[in-house]
Structure 1
Amino acid sequence: MSAPLYQIVCPECTQANRVPADKPAAMAKCGVCGAKLYRAKPIMVSGADFKVHIAKTKIPVVVDFWAAWCGPCKAMDPVFKQVAAELEPAVRFLKVNTDEEQKLAGDYAIRGIPTLILFKNGRENARVSGAMAAGPLKAWIAKST
């Protein structure tokens, strides 16, 4: 019997990759472009790439909707990076710039930033707005997955 697989999208070429659950995920590389599938940091995505990551990634995905001019977003950025480094590869972390992706922000009714949305199996599972420290962020992710 073969090991169970999970699916993760490459941060470089956005191709879906199946990764054996019994192999070290931190070492996994894309079967198409050879890029590392995990970098222990958030991935900046466009609207099109966002849709691919959400639809095809079969682990929880936390998305930070933010803007460069936003003070709380700037305060949240190092926390989001820290938590990504700690929780990957169990959770994928994405960042969406709401100024550059206004349609996507509208599609998800982003009214305040930063707003974090946790997706599971392609669907929104939880949402929270406002900056937070690492401990509360990890607790929110654990509760929401």
Structure 2
Amino acid sequence: MIKAVALVATLLLPLAGQADDKDVLEYRQRIMKSLQEQTAAFGQILSGAGPTENTLAHMETLALSASVALKAFEAKVPGGEAKPEIWSNWPDFAKRMQEFADKTAGMARIGREQGVDAAVMEVLDALPCKACHDLYRDEKKK
């Protein structure tokens, strides 16, 4: 009986690793999708098409999502829209993601302390998405 359990465990172990990679990839995609959706909603507000009373909530949600985004890449699981350059140039990618998290947190803090009008002045600096996406995102892999 013990040998049978050991055999089953040995056979299932590789499958568990694959499931883990799949879960890691799915989690990362959800975090990045959340950032994309929050940025889009925030853009609607800034363009006048969304309710301005939600501006601070979107700033804070962006900051929270950005604060966990880097961790979602640390497992170094390829796939999705992530280019391999993320892991071959990890120090640059990690630095950019940390700066993104810091700047969105700063924007949200300004929004809380000085008001959203002051925080809106930080948007271009806080959301440098395109520069990072140009290097590290393969949008053709959808």
Q: Do both share a fold (TM > 0.5)? A: no
Task: Indicate the structure with greater strand content.
Answer: 1
TM-score by length of 2: 0.28
Normalized per residue, which structure has more helix? 2
